[in-house]
Amino acid sequence: MFVLRFLCGQWCKPTTDEDLESEAYQVLLDVNVGVAALAHDLFHFEITSQVPEGLSKNVVSSKKAQANWYRKLLEAWRAAKPPPKTPEEAARLVIETLKRHQKADVEGLLAFYGLPLPHTLVQLTAGAPISLPAGVKYEFQTFPVDSRAIADGDGMTVYVSTTDPRESSCVPREVQVAAVQRSQARVEKNYTKADAIHEKIIESGYRVLDFQNNEEILVRIYRIRLRGIDAPENAMPYGKEAKEELTKIVKGKCLRVLVYGEDQYGRCVADIYCDGKFVQELMLKKGFAWHYATYDQRPELARWEKEAQAKRVGLWASSNPEKPWEWRKKNKKKGQKRIRRKDKSESR
């Protein structure tokens, strides 16, 4: 519990033990494991003046020097308002605090906690637009994104409340009626009927979100394709990492979505902003996506891709990474050949 109190710092001041447990638990949900481990070790150092066992395997300086780092980091952590919550924030604090120390020690300390190394951190340049850019057909704000709704490194499913003025005017009458019928079935505890009604609502492109306070909200389902980038497919090298990176960026966050059109699969082709950050810029600069120049010629996308190439981060750590559109084309041909062979064998 003391560790949780330390993690919260000044930005969380519960007044009862019950509040402390509830709010501190939420803090742990929000922070990365590495961030929590660093906070724990700093708190432990404050009490014992001991640095963590095993750190010497990652760094070159003595235990005395390590103690000096933790003393400085403890002061910096306390001064930060609020304390770091993300791996990137924690890494920047470590790098800035220990900038006069040996590079090998700083990188070793970051690696010890699984925090991003200096060359992988990105400086963002594209903030969220104040007015709608040319070509945007409409925009919406989403509910917090469920990690299970991330399809891959450039696609996801999001929910938008039908109480939004743009949505409220176009909800089909049959969906509205079905939502009321489902709610009534749940009141009657006829969950089989409620689930069957809900399936029909989902087939219509909507669903009902149930909250712990018994509140029910009808939402519209949107499938999103990130405009201008192409991430490795899940089955490709770096496909899993790309999906994990996008999940880390948007999980649990409300997004601002600027829609430019639809693709052949009915997905909204859109620019995504999360906490004011341009998601496509993050994915490109971290090396988890290609600039999809065939469909988007924005020069900044090409520039961000080149920055990642120069740093050899993400998929650019490979000397010759396969382009996802070439991979899809190759595997589509393989699938067609398998179908032709199957047709021939069945006709004999």
Using CB atoms within 10 A of its CB, is residue 326 exposed (0-12), middle (13-18) or buried (19+)? exposed
Under 8 Å between Cβ of 225 and 316: no
Please confirm, yes or no, whether 233 is among the known catalytic residues.
yes
Which H or E run contains 29? helix 17-30
- Euclidean distance between CA atoms 290 and 35, whole angstroms: 29
Please confirm, yes or no, whether 225 is among the known catalytic residues.
yes
- Would you give the distance in Å from CA 131 to the centre of its chain? 25
Under 8 Å between Cβ of 314 and 338: no
Nearest residue to 246 (alpha-carbon basis) of 130, 107, 151: 151
In this structure, what DSSP letter does residue 163 have?
T
Under 8 Å between Cβ of 259 and 138: yes
Under 8 Å between Cβ of 265 and 254: no
What's at 134, amino acid-wise?
A: A
- Catalytic hit among 233, 245, 281, 305: 233
Under 8 Å between Cβ of 10 and 66: no
- Pairing between β-strand 229-230 and β-strand 290-291 as defined by DSSP bridges: antiparallel
Peptide bond into 321 cis (omega under 30): no
- Catalytic hit among 182, 225, 227, 256: 225
Contacts of 317 (CB under 8 A, 6+ apart): 287
The set of catalytic residues is: 225, 233, 267
